[in-house]
Amino acid sequence: GTMSQRFHSRKAKVRGFVTPVEWDKDNKIARIAICTEAEDIFYVDDEVGLDCLRHALRAYVVVKGFYFVDDKGEKHLELRSIKLH
């Protein structure tokens, strides 16, 4: 469950491009990926993170936060700070 995932989360500083990857039925962005130059992908799907990144679509950002890897091997990022470049 979520508790164990939170427990395994690691600190990260991620630099990359903000790319929307999923929309909900109202055509609102439901999931955003931050794609790094090393072709690493960090997914943001919580409300707070999405709100922060919605105005930075396709921008290059430096974000700090915590991430955990789910059972599919996907990295989920919880934002703490964001800088636009």
Taking only the tens place, the pLDDT of each residue in 26-84 is 999 999 999 999 999 999 999 999 999 998 999 999 999 999 999 999 999 999 999 99
Which pLDDT value is given to residue 8?
Answer: 76
Which pLDDT value is given to residue 4?
Answer: 54
Check whether 17 has a pLDDT greater than 80. Answer: yes
Distance CA 83, CA 85 (A): 7
Distance CA 16, CA 80 (A): 16
**Whole-prediction pTM:** 0.85
